[in-house]
Every structure is written in structure tokens, then in C-alpha cells.
Chains A and B, each alone.
Chain A
Amino acid sequence: MLQTADRDIHGATLSRRFLLRGAGALTVGFGLVGGLAGCVNPPAATVASKLASSWIKVGPDGTVAVHTGNSDFGQGTVFTAYRQIVADELYTTIEAITTVVTGDTDRTPDGGGSYALLFMGSPNIRKAAAYTYQALLDLAAQKLGAPRSAVTAEDGVFRGGGRSIGYGDLVRDQALSLTIPVQDMGPMGLRISGDPPTKPVSAYKYVGQSFDNTATAARVTARADWITDVRLPGMLHARMVRPRTLGSTLVSAGTVDKARFPGAQVVVKGNLVAVVSPNEWEAIQAAQSVADGTRWTDWKGLPGHERLPEALRGNDWAATPVSHEGFFGAPPQAADAPDRARRAIAGAARTLKASYFMPYLKHAPIGPTIAVADVRPDGTTTVHAHNQNAQLLRRAIATMLGTAPDNVVVRSYAGPGHYGRSNGGVSGAEDEAVILSKELGKPVRVQWMRDEDIQWSTQQAAAYSDIEIGLDAQGRMVGYQADHFMPAMGDTRPIGAVLAGLPTIPAPAPSTDPSAPTVNRLWDDWIYGSVKDVSQTGHGGSQIGQAASPLKVGLRDQSMRTPGQFQQNFPREAAINEAAALAGADPLAFRLAHATDPRVKGVLEAVRDASGWQTRPTPAHGAGQGDVLRGRGVSNLYREASYWSCVAEVAVTRSTGVVKVERITLAVDPGIVINPKQLKRQVEGGVTMGVSQALFEEVRFDESGVTSRDWSSYPILTMADLPEIKVVLLHKPEIGVYGSGSEAANALPAAAIVGALHDATGVFARRLPLTPAYVAPLLST
């Protein structure tokens, strides 16, 4: 076989071997050039274990396979935007992108979690494609005998020197390997470095157009590879028997009545109790029977949800360093900012001082967590999963087994949306399936029941904020100060491993280290540029109940859609609404008057116009009269290069305290809108979840554990409560950036609804959810 000299492609390296006829491909591999220092909770990982396979592969028939470590959780991005980006950067057709492989640790590179598909994540796929195109261009120039500058490409065909050649012909009969430079970003996966030339935005053919999600047809015809469908030969079904409380230890495990359940078997490992059977229904019934006979110690160590607002104030906030650092690249605030804000507020003509509270919320996937594991006698382990971070899951399993990540493979399947729950690599069932498979020497499928999935999963951390705003005599904001308090939200310990007493990464615990996992950063960038004296402080602390629980579990928290930022943006925007009212100003005009960034103003003007907003002071004239009162409110947010604004219109029934959201208008400016149809659906989905969170959702718990256990004790919005949703997409190709679109929409409705409630009734709500039990007493005072 003939090998030619390597060629430099804008910092990447193209190597080439000639093969026997017929096969051939260009594949994209990696060379590590640097890493991220001080990443949070570094798991035992080897960089080599992240370097699986190719990001992009161009085959001898000209088709292109995209391999991404990201999985799909309903965003569709990997099947829509990624194909569009690759087709454009490669100057080929979108139909040529025939294969998308996601989240298989042995077949895809480490793309980090499915939380940074665009903005932070998209430079990867864009650059991988751009490097690949440059390599193809280099090959084409040689083949066509023309200088690179004289070669052009369109629809997968190069032309130059009066001749043409298709991509398939360029790679046929050769093994072409392009090694591109990457950095290891820890939990965020690999990031491609360097700056290969990218296609001018003005030349895009696919980005900016609506394309269908290529996964949809299979999902509506029962042909999708759902995680729920995975069946392995000899597989056992398992159901877990949970401790009675979040702090109970096992006294004695119940036994299987073999007369009733001949195929069932109990497995006990530490405090982990499971029942397995070849028959799923037998496993379910036998587990219930075993649970009835299992004895646990009692435990009380939680405040109960009714006492949570006060109890949260008593958390160990002082044990964790405060943070003034943003997350999305915003510079840390100046050291004198707290003093300046304090002085500005002290000298203000009028001041607002208010506290806001958000309860624990559940990710609440429609299907409970599920996984199938196969631990072989030689220790190699395959986990079939539906997980937002396959590489972190792989490492968590390896840590638990005391083996190298290279001995663990995670394969990803379609499944219910997780909304952040499995960002940290575990959604719940995976480690339990592994423990049981290892114990029994057979493949094991673990599926949680509905009550477990609400009571034993992680959740969005509760939070509260103390906010002060100073207004001058003209009613302009002159100072803003916020203290945001939230327990750690990154508990990625596999719960089965914890119960079984097996190794895991440590629980989040306070330390003096400024990168301690309990640190609460500033997730919500300030966007009202005319206010200069602004100070925000993030206070982090322990998870509630963790230290007191003999199991060390307590109320475990994990990131959830718009993580951390929802908890900080809701109080800020609710307070801005109150400040506008204090100033006697229209809340939308008040925001416009304080914004300096034209894109902040742009989304505000867009929702104002699209919603038919009438500029006037709030509350509405005549507020507080009649039984059904109507009002409107507004909110604003910036996240990951996207600008958002939301108007909510509500009807409040005074006699009952029922808040009905009638219409939501939401504008987003993400820079480049890659796929308008898909973004609109994503935004509608986010808004719907956000209205649900604002009106209905709160995790109920007593002193021993979570008492929400089904859809009636953790209600979410139903179709009857769906507002009319109007989405305005602001396409700004000149920005040149793909902002993030599937997140954030859920975080906006709550503050707009609270503003609308005030507009309708003159009453300010300072906590969520806006249930009749909370709102009715507010209205009668």
C-alpha cells in the first residue's frame, strides 16, 4: 500500500493511504492540544477513552455520516441543525447526510452532554465540517490540477481547471484520515480548536431553512429504537424496592412467595433491594410483595415543603465561598460593585426590597428512568441507556465497578425527555442495572415505577433571592443588588451505587475551594446596561437533608432546563416589574428605557408589537374590580448568545384565586435561526413547560421524603390549560452565531405571569407556583 506525505490543513493533518479498489473514506480523528483546568468533579477519566471514532465520515458514494457524542432528548438538533450545518460547511446536499450516530461511547467522540447542542456545542460540528471541507478541497485541487483558489464546490462536486469530481470519487480507494486539534473540556467534552475557514453566512443554502427532523417518522410509527424496546437474550426484568425514607437503612429484606412468583428472586446489596424475574409483570408484582415484607429504619430530617422557605434560610450558606462569577463568559463583576450598589441604593429616592422563592421542581420525564446492562464474565460492561451524557455515565459506571472506562461501553437510544436530569451522566436506572447484572451474571433491565421516578430521582434545586432596587426621583433605576441562594445542583452520584455502598464521586459538600461543587454562580447576566451600580452575589450550600441522612442522600438536585438561571432570572424580572410599578411606569417601556444593547431592545419591541401591548402604567385602570380580572406582564432574559422577551396575558378569578394564562407572546433573537420550524416547536414546548412550572409545580415532601408520587400529587399543565402561544423568531444572520434555542423559553413565563397578576389585581406574588391556595389569600388581603 502506498502512503503519501501528510499535509497540513489549517492546523489539522491529512494522511493518506491507497487501498485496493472499491472502498475508501475520509474520516476525522483527533489530536489533543490542551485541556480545561479545574473542571468540576473530575471523574476518573482517561483522555484516550474520549477519543472514539470519527466525527464526520465521507464515504466512497459521497454520503456523509455524522457521529456526535450528543444524544437527542427532543431538541431534534442532532437530526436537524447539525445536518444543515454539516451540509452547508461541506458544500454538499442535505440528502447526502445519510447517517447520524449519537451518544455511543464506542462509536462517537465525547461531545459533552446534551445541554450545549448549539452555541457552546455547535462550533464543534461546524469546525469539524469546515476542517473536512478544507481537506477535501486540498485533495480536489491536486486531482483537478488547479490551484485551491480556482476550485469551487457545490452539491458535493468540485469544479476547477475545466473538470469536475464528486466527493465520493475523491475518497474512493484510499484511507484518508484527518487529525484535527481538540481540547479536553472535562464534563463539557472535547472542543475542537483552531480556526478553519468557515462558509460565509451569506452563502448558506440549508442553514436558515426549515427541514423536518429525520427521527420523527420512526417515532410516530413505532419503528424508533426506544430504550424501552431493548431486549437481550436471557435478560431479567428488575424492579427496585426503595427505602421507606430518604434516610432509612435496611433492617431485613422481604422474601419472595415462590408459590405465587415462581420465577422471581430477591437481590440485596447493602441498602439496595431488588426483585428480578424473566417475566416483567411477575417482577412488578413480586417487588410489591417483597416491599410489603421489607423492614427499614425510620428517619426524619427534612423540613417539609410547607416550612421550606424558612428552612432554606437556615442552610449552611456561610460554609461555601460566595461567587461573583458569571457562567456564559461574562466577566466577574468589579470588586467594588457591592459597595457601589449599596451606596447607590442608600442614596436613592425610592427603594424596593423584596424576597422571592422558588420550590423544588421535578424534571418529571413522561417515562421513568430505564436501562439494560450486560456485565460479562471478563468484566466488560455494556449499558444500553437513554442519557444526556454518555461519557460521564460511562465513567460513573467504571468508578462504581473499579475498572477503567475503556471496559465500559454506553449505547444511546431514544427515550423520554430528561430536561437536564441526566446531564451528569446518570438518570437513575443505569447503575442499578449494572449492579444486578454483575450480581446475577445475566443481562438485566431496570425500569423504575412512576412513584420511584418522582420520589427517588434528582430535582431542580429550590432557591430564594433577596433583591434591592434603588430608583431616582425620575423613577430610573440607579442601583441593583441581588443575593441568590441555592443548594448545590449537581449531584451526579448514582443512587443505586450509593444505596449499595459502592464507589461514587463524592456528594456535593461545602469547602473553602472557590470551585467547590456547592458554589452558586451568577447564571443570569444583567441586561439593563444603563444601570451601572449593579451587584449580584451567588450563595451556595449543601443539599437539604444530605448531611443528616444516614444514606447521605437527602433532596438530591440536578440541573434542569435553564439551570440556575431560572432560579435567578425569575426573582430579578419579578423585582423589575415591582420597580416599574413603584416608578409608575409601563413595565415594558421601563425595561426599554434601561436597556442599552440593541438586541435586548429588539426582542422587547418585538413582543410589544406582536402582543398588541398598550403602553400604560400598571396595574391596569380599574384593577381589583369584578370577579375575573385581566392583566399583562413582561419578562426578559439573555442566555447563550440568545435574547428572549415574553409577554403573558392572564385572567384571574378573584373568588377562587385561579390564574389562567390566556396568551403568551415570546420573541427570541438567537442570531442565526438555523431551522425556523423546529425552533418554533422548541419555543412552544419551553413556554408550555414554563407556564406549567409557574402555575402548578412544586415538589411536596414531609420530614422523611418526597410525598409527590404520581401525576395527581405532582400535577403538570394539561391541554385544557394551554394558552395561545405566539412565537416571534428574529433571524439575524449578520450576527454569525448560532444561539441556543431549545433552552430558556421555560424560564420566561413565570415572571411575566407574576407581572400580569399584578397588572390585573394590584397584588405582587413573590413565590411560585401560583396555585389558588397561594393566590386566593393574597387577593383577599
Chain B
Amino acid sequence: MISLTVNGVAREVASSPDTPLLYVLRNDLGLTGPQFGCGLAQCGACSVLVDGREMRSCVTPASMAVGHEVTTLEGLPQRWAAKHGAAGAAGPQDLHPVQQAWIEEQTPLCGFCQNGMMIKATELLETTPAPSTDQIKAAFTTGGPSPHLCRCGSYTAIIDAVHRAAALMKA
């Protein structure tokens, strides 16, 4: 039995402790934001925040998340609300400003990689509220275990959306 805190809620799961967090989140907890892309920490599709830091859930044993705060894509709106309260709401209450920006910029093409992109954007904007385009490129390329990969070619739209999210979060 593993005890985890995911999106602010204490959860108990029966999986073995060496199970990668991705399978625990998807199969035991029904959290389908993180996606399986490579299983090798090479693409970023499975990313989650652990204590606010981007982690690749496909190679992170669930036991390593014990005692830490895990946030998935599903938990982003709540994460924003918890930090900023209703006064900090940038858009509809059920969206984090990053998600709002992703919609306004029409960023996803197929959308499969965008979980990791939004997780990375959230991590970046929590520490760097107004990143330059170069800072965004660096964060998504060398700011983690591997570059965040998009095969549809949405990088331009991601950069536009990070800038927009920064503006929404400031407003």
C-alpha cells in the first residue's frame, strides 16, 4: 500500500511501490492528464509537478512521491485557486491561466504532448512570471530531464501561449 497526496487529496493505492507513478495515476487513480509517450523520460508527455518541480512520471517509482505533493493536469485549476484565491482568477474558475492561454492561443494540434507542455509552463511561470522567448525555449529544451517534444510542431503556439499565460497571471 502506498500513500500519496495528489492534487491536494490523500490517496491510498495497492500497487507495488516500484510501479512508475504514471501507471498509478492513470490506472489506480483515474487521472488521465499525464500520457505515456516513451517510458524513457525523453519526451515529457507524462510530466507532473512534484512539490512544484516537473517530474517524468513514466520513470519515477510511485514510492518516490510519498511525502510529496503531486499535481497533475487535473489539479492545475485548484493549484492556481489555492495560491491566488478567487481574486486571482484569470478566467473561468475551472481553468488554470495556463490552460486558459492554451485555449485562447489554440495551441494543441493533436494535443497529446500538451499535458507536459502545460506542466512545464506552470513550473516556469511559478518561478519566472514574465519569461522571455529565450527563457521559454531554454525551459522547454534544457530545463528538465529531456526536451519536451511535440511532433505536430506546436512549439510556436506554445511560446505564444506561455507569453499569454504570463499576461493572464499578472492581470
Query: Nearest chain-A residue to B114 (Cβ)?
Result: A220
**Do B112 and A367 touch across chains, with their CB atoms under 8 A apart?**
yes
State whether the Cβ of B128 lies closer than 8 Å to any Cβ in chain A: no
Task: Write the nearest CB–CB distance from A414 to chain B, whole angstroms.
Answer: 7
CB contact list, A328-387 vs B, under 8 A:
364-368
Specify which chain B residues have a CB less than 8 angstroms from the CB of A689 in the assembled complex.
151-153
Task: Write the nearest CB–CB distance from B101 to chain A, whole angstroms.
Answer: 9
Bitwise, B129-166 to A at CB < 8 A (1) or not (0) is 00000001110111000111111111111110000000
**Do B38 and A73 touch across chains, with their CB atoms under 8 A apart?**
no
**Do B153 and A366 touch across chains, with their CB atoms under 8 A apart?**
no
Report the separation of the CA atoms of residues A87 and B109 in the bound assembly, to the nearest whole angstrom: 23
Known: A366-B149, A366-B151. A73 touches B110 (CB 8 A): yes
**Do A681 and B146 touch across chains, with their CB atoms under 8 A apart?**
no
Specify which chain A residues have a CB less than 8 angstroms from the CB of B112 in the assembled complex.
226, 365-367, 415-417
Report the separation of the CA atoms of residues A450 and B146 in the bound assembly, to the nearest whole angstrom: 15
Report the separation of the CA atoms of residues A692 and B40 in the bound assembly, to the nearest whole angstrom: 21
Report the separation of the CA atoms of residues A685 and B94 in the bound assembly, to the nearest whole angstrom: 28
**Do A711 and B149 touch across chains, with their CB atoms under 8 A apart?**
yes
Query: Nearest chain-B residue to A727 (Cβ)?
Result: B156
Task: Write the nearest CB–CB distance from A126 to chain B, whole angstroms.
Answer: 23
CB contact list, A462-476 vs B, under 8 A:
none
State whether the Cβ of A69 lies closer than 8 Å to any Cβ in chain B: no
Most buried by A among B38, B108, B114, B153: B153
Specify which chain A residues have a CB less than 8 angstroms from the CB of B108 in the assembled complex.
74, 213, 216, 219-220
**Do B36 and A228 touch across chains, with their CB atoms under 8 A apart?**
yes
Known: A222-B31, A416-B151, A711-B43. A722 touches B111 (CB 8 A): no
Known: A224-B111, A366-B37. A685 touches B152 (CB 8 A): yes
Task: Write the nearest CB–CB distance from A234 to chain B, whole angstroms.
Answer: 14
Task: Write the nearest CB–CB distance from B166 to chain A, whole angstroms.
Answer: 16
CB contact list, A36-89 vs B, under 8 A:
72-76
**Do A228 and B35 touch across chains, with their CB atoms under 8 A apart?**
yes
Specify which chain A residues have a CB less than 8 angstroms from the CB of B93 in the assembled complex.
none
Task: Write the nearest CB–CB distance from A498 to chain B, whole angstroms.
Answer: 25
Determine chain B's interface SS by DSSP, over half rule: loop
Report the separation of the CA atoms of residues A718 and B146 in the bound assembly, to the nearest whole angstrom: 10
From A216, A686, A687, A712, contact of B106 by CB (8 A) = A216
**Do B109 and A685 touch across chains, with their CB atoms under 8 A apart?**
yes
Report the separation of the CA atoms of residues A130 and B12 in the bound assembly, to the nearest whole angstrom: 56
Stretch of B15-23, B49-57, B63-71, B79-87 on the interface side: B15-23
Report the separation of the CA atoms of residues A725 and B155 in the bound assembly, to the nearest whole angstrom: 10
Report the separation of the CA atoms of residues A146 and B10 in the bound assembly, to the nearest whole angstrom: 67
State whether the Cβ of A456 lies closer than 8 Å to any Cβ in chain B: no
**Do A415 and B27 touch across chains, with their CB atoms under 8 A apart?**
no
Task: Write the nearest CB–CB distance from B113 to chain A, whole angstroms.
Answer: 5
Specify which chain B residues have a CB less than 8 angstroms from the CB of A219 in the assembled complex.
108, 111, 114
Query: Nearest chain-A residue to B140 (Cβ)?
Result: A719
**Do A364 and B32 touch across chains, with their CB atoms under 8 A apart?**
no
Task: Write the nearest CB–CB distance from A7 to chain B, whole angstroms.
Answer: 42
**Do A718 and B111 touch across chains, with their CB atoms under 8 A apart?**
no
Specify which chain B residues have a CB less than 8 angstroms from the CB of A711 in the assembled complex.
38, 40, 42-43, 146, 149
Known: A681-B157, A688-B153, A720-B142. A228 touches B106 (CB 8 A): no
Task: Write the nearest CB–CB distance from B100 to chain A, whole angstroms.
Answer: 9
CB contact list, A687-703 vs B, under 8 A:
687-689, 692
Bitwise, A440-474 to B at CB < 8 A (1) or not (0) is 00000001011000000000000000000000000
Query: Nearest chain-B residue to A227 (Cβ)?
Result: B112
Task: Write the nearest CB–CB distance from B39 to chain A, whole angstroms.
Answer: 6
From B36, B136, B147, contact of A367 by CB (8 A) = B36
Interface size range on A against B: 35 or more
Report the separation of the CA atoms of residues A284 and B36 in the bound assembly, to the nearest whole angstrom: 13
Report the separation of the CA atoms of residues A217 and B35 in the bound assembly, to the nearest whole angstrom: 17
Query: Nearest chain-A residue to B115 (Cβ)?
Result: A222
Query: Nearest chain-A residue to B94 (Cβ)?
Result: A221
Bitwise, A388-431 to B at CB < 8 A (1) or not (0) is 00000000000000000000000000111101000000000000
Query: Nearest chain-B residue to A363 (Cβ)?
Result: B151
Most buried by B among A222, A417, A710, A711: A222
Bitwise, B82-103 to A at CB < 8 A (1) or not (0) is 0000000000001100010011
State whether the Cβ of A716 lies closer than 8 Å to any Cβ in chain B: yes
Task: Write the nearest CB–CB distance from A103 to chain B, whole angstroms.
Answer: 14
**Do B27 and A74 touch across chains, with their CB atoms under 8 A apart?**
no
Task: Write the nearest CB–CB distance from B123 to chain A, whole angstroms.
Answer: 15
Report the separation of the CA atoms of residues A216 and B141 in the bound assembly, to the nearest whole angstrom: 24
Specify which chain A residues have a CB less than 8 angstroms from the CB of B136 in the assembled complex.
719
**Do A684 and B149 touch across chains, with their CB atoms under 8 A apart?**
no
Specify which chain B residues have a CB less than 8 angstroms from the CB of A74 in the assembled complex.
108-111, 152
**Do B152 and A417 touch across chains, with their CB atoms under 8 A apart?**
yes
**Do B36 and A419 touch across chains, with their CB atoms under 8 A apart?**
no
Specify which chain B residues have a CB less than 8 angstroms from the CB of A229 in the assembled complex.
26, 32
Query: Nearest chain-A residue to B92 (Cβ)?
Result: A217
From B99, B106, B148, contact of A677 by CB (8 A) = B106
From A222, A224, A677, contact of B72 by CB (8 A) = A222
Specify which chain A residues have a CB less than 8 angstroms from the CB of B37 in the assembled complex.
366-368, 450
Specify which chain A residues have a CB less than 8 angstroms from the CB of B146 in the assembled complex.
711
Report the separation of the CA atoms of residues A368 and B107 in the bound assembly, to the nearest whole angstrom: 21
Report the separation of the CA atoms of residues A685 and B142 in the bound assembly, to the nearest whole angstrom: 21
CB contact list, A194-243 vs B, under 8 A:
212-213, 215-217, 219-222, 224, 226, 228-229
State whether the Cβ of B118 lies closer than 8 Å to any Cβ in chain A: yes
Task: Write the nearest CB–CB distance from A556 to chain B, whole angstroms.
Answer: 20
Most buried by B among A212, A220, A224, A725: A220
State whether the Cβ of B4 lies closer than 8 Å to any Cβ in chain A: no
CB contact list, A638-692 vs B, under 8 A:
677-678, 681-682, 684-689, 692
Specify which chain A residues have a CB less than 8 angstroms from the CB of B149 in the assembled complex.
366, 711, 716, 718
Bitwise, A512-524 to B at CB < 8 A (1) or not (0) is 0000000000000
Task: Write the nearest CB–CB distance from A192 to chain B, whole angstroms.
Answer: 28
Specify which chain B residues have a CB less than 8 angstroms from the CB of A414 in the assembled complex.
110-111
Specify which chain B residues have a CB less than 8 angstroms from the CB of A217 in the assembled complex.
103
Task: Write the nearest CB–CB distance from B48 to chain A, whole angstroms.
Answer: 12
Query: Nearest chain-B residue to A712 (Cβ)?
Result: B42
From A222, A449, A685, A719, contact of B148 by CB (8 A) = A719
Task: Write the nearest CB–CB distance from B95 to chain A, whole angstroms.
Answer: 7
**Do B153 and A367 touch across chains, with their CB atoms under 8 A apart?**
no
From A213, A216, A450, A686, contact of B153 by CB (8 A) = A686
Query: Nearest chain-B residue to A75 (Cβ)?
Result: B109
State whether the Cβ of B73 lies closer than 8 Å to any Cβ in chain A: yes
Specify which chain A residues have a CB less than 8 angstroms from the CB of B74 in the assembled complex.
221-222
Task: Write the nearest CB–CB distance from A221 to chain B, whole angstroms.
Answer: 6
State whether the Cβ of B169 lies closer than 8 Å to any Cβ in chain A: no
Known: A684-B156, A710-B42. A720 touches B141 (CB 8 A): yes
**Do A228 and B156 touch across chains, with their CB atoms under 8 A apart?**
no
Task: Write the nearest CB–CB distance from A664 to chain B, whole angstroms.
Answer: 10
State whether the Cβ of A280 lies closer than 8 Å to any Cβ in chain B: yes
State whether the Cβ of B6 lies closer than 8 Å to any Cβ in chain A: no
Report the separation of the CA atoms of residues A644 and B35 in the bound assembly, to the nearest whole angstrom: 35
Please list the residues of chain B having a beta carbon within 8 angstroms of any beta carbon in chain A.
15-16, 19-20, 23, 26-27, 31-33, 35-40, 42-43, 45, 72-74, 94-95, 99, 102-103, 106-115, 118, 136-138, 140-142, 146-159
Known: A224-B111, A367-B112. 16 other contacts (CB 8 A): A212-B103, A219-B114, A220-B103, A221-B73, A222-B73, A222-B115, A366-B45, A677-B106, A681-B107, A681-B154, A684-B156, A685-B153, A686-B153, A688-B154, A716-B151, A717-B155
Closest CB pairs A-B (n = 10): A688-B153, A74-B110, A685-B153, A74-B109, A219-B111, A222-B33, A417-B110, A718-B147, A416-B112, A720-B141
Please list the residues of chain A having a beta carbon within 8 angstroms of any beta carbon in chain B.
72-76, 212-213, 215-217, 219-222, 224, 226, 228-229, 279-281, 284, 364-368, 414-417, 419, 447, 449-450, 677-678, 681-682, 684-689, 692, 710-712, 716-720, 722, 725
What are some 8 contacts across the A-B interface (CB < 8 A)? A72-B110, A213-B108, A220-B99, A284-B39, A366-B110, A685-B153, A688-B154, A718-B147
